[in-house]
Structure 1
Amino acid sequence: MTEAVMAGAEPFAFGGGKTGVLVLHGFTGSPQSMRYLGERLGERGYSVLGPRLPGHGISPAAMAKTTANDWVACAEDALLELSAKCDKVFVTGLSMGGTLSLYLAALHPDKVAGVIPINAAVQVDSPDMAAVAFARNMPEFVPGIGSDMMDTSVKELAYDQVPVTCFKQVIGLAAAARALLPKITCPTFVINSRVDHVLKPHNATIIASHVGSDRVELLWLNNSYHVATIDNDKDLIASELHSFVQRQL
């Protein structure tokens, strides 16, 4: 029997004009973390697609059965779907979603008009995560990493446990995206929180300094932690992302 998707974790799509924005959620998270941004972009007339990555928004056990290949394939399928009905498509994502957005920009330059990684991972500098990624005799799950936000009144719909088998997947995906940065030639807008308890903020400067694009912008967020898309800077992100897209049209 297929497990049900958690309430609030459903994928979303908003019909709009010929400019599309693909929004990708993060590792162990769900489309819930990107829905606010998607709604604001939809209100501005964009065609918006927010897929649910395989294994996410269901259960940690469901996620344990997936790999980075599955997450990449889902993101690529969503890009193709949006590209089929839009003249230009921009890709944004939070955390691992940002990693996926960079991956898409590098490998599908004909389909990505601009990329906006938000607190993205291209270097997972976590000794704890590295220590368990290939270790023997580890438990199947370890405590989760979700809901890192300055605004404590909001909760991210993310797993409270992480499948250990998925750590090596996200580390590998981040490393691949890091190596692919020079292949990104589209306009790039890096958005990053100054304080992030999940990923080190220097990921932002690595991205900005290594992409092959000659149009790179960097915005630092002072009032949000890792899940910035539903934190205090969520409206700033929406308006700055809109402005960036308009500059490329």
Structure 2
Amino acid sequence: MIRKSDFYLEGGRLGVLLIHGLTGTPMEMRLLGKGLHGAGFTVHGMQLAGHCGDTDDLLATGWRDWYASVEAAADAMRARVDHLFVGGLSMGALLALKLAADRPGQVAGVGVYGATFRYDGWSIPWLARLSFLLPFLKTLGLGRNRVFLEQPPYGLRDERLREQVSAAMRSGDSTIAGLLGNPWHSLADLYQLSARVRRQLHQVTAPCLVAHASDDDVASVRNAELVLRGVSAPSELLLLQDSYHMITIDKERRTLIERSARFFQVVAARHGHPVPA
């Protein structure tokens, strides 16, 4: 099912499903998607269930709903392509890894962009670093109306883009830059998803390109190292030196596009598929 904020770019028989992060939108994956499409891929930038609306829309869903929307998008795309790759940013990276773990015969490779198992970057306030306790509070029914507000630099080293994104979040139009804050109960679901994916990492047998900002303000490089240690497939690490958390739109997005396209093409070639022209 194509949702209102999805984008779909028809290309060749190699497909890439792109998954945005918690409270985010497909817009944060569009530049990467356009670059991959330019390299010959068919690309679907999907909208997660409960996203691109208001806080109540998000709170009406949980990680199982978000993952179910990923599975539905993957099923639709597999009918159109010969090999399916999946890439995700932040929480989207966790959903991509879970899909690869659950469907080893269907996912050819994974783009793991700024994986966020824990919010432990340098811009995260000390109270927010305790958010791993939120699943417990949620079981008690506490904090449903509480929100952790996004903090500068909003995952962006590019100051011009940072101001644009900040203005879009303040405008209230969540289809452009997402919500201004992370609801406690949604963060609780993120940590439940995180624990599930950590236990499943060894089931990921598809090659992974693990890309992370070396100075990530939201999720430290320890998150990327966790993936590299846990997955069972040969994987590559791409450390970006001039970006913050939102590596799909920040200063080194062209490097990310080029490395992602090349990585997916090499994996496809191993399966005997001609690389896109």
Common fold, TM-score beyond 0.5?
yes
Contact 1:148–1:197 (8 Å) recurs in 2 = yes
Corresponding position: 1:141 with 2:160: no
Equivalent position to 1:152, from 150, 159, 167: 159
> Counterparts in 2 of 1:5-16, with a 5 A limit?
10-16=5-11
Report the equivalent of 1:196.
216
Q: In 2, distance between residues paired with 1:46 and 1:205?
A: 28
Cα distance between partner residues in 1 of 2:144 and 2:226 = 33
**1:45 to 1:236, Cα distance in 2 relative to 1, 3 A:** same
TM-score (norm 2): 0.82
Aligned equivalent of 2:17: 22
Q: For 1:139 and 1:108, locate their aligned partners in 2 and report how far apart those are by CA, in whole Å.
A: 33
Contact 2:135 2:192 survives alignment (8 Å)? no
- Judge conservation of contact 1:144–1:159 (CA < 8 Å) in 2: no
Query: Aligned partners of 2:43, 2:16: CA distance in 1, in Å?
Result: 5
Cα deviation for residue 161 of structure 1 reads 2.2
Aligned partners of 2:57, 2:144: CA distance in 1, in Å? 16
How far off its partner does 1:187 sit? 1.1
1:109-130: CA deviations, max 9, x gaps? 1110001110112345563313
- Aligned twin of 1:128: 130
Identity of aligned residues (%): 32
1:1-249 equivalences under 5 Å are 10-125=5-120, 127-135=129-137, 137-138=142-143, 140-145=145-150, 147-154=154-161, 155-156=164-165, 157-213=177-233, 215-249=234-268
Aligned residue pairs, count: 241
Cα offset, 1:188, TM superposition:
1.2
Q: One-letter code of the match for 2:213?
A: S
TM-score, length basis structure 1: 0.91
CA RMSD of aligned residues (A): 1.7
Q: SS of the counterpart of 2:29?
A: helix
Secondary structure of the corresponding residue to residue 224 of structure 2: helix
Task: Tell me the alpha carbon deviations over residues 19-73 of structure 1, each in whole angstroms, 9 at most, x when there is no partner.
Answer: 0001000011110100111111112221101111011111122101110011000
SS in 2 for 1:26: coil
Which structure 1 segments of 5+ residues have no match?
none
Call closer, same or farther: CA 1:223–1:116 in 2, change over 3 Å. Answer: same
Structure 2 counterpart of 1:150, one-letter code:
R
The answer to whether the Cα contact below 8 Å between 2:17 and 2:44 also exists between their aligned partners in 1 is yes
5+ long unaligned stretches in structure 2:
121-127, 166-176, 269-277
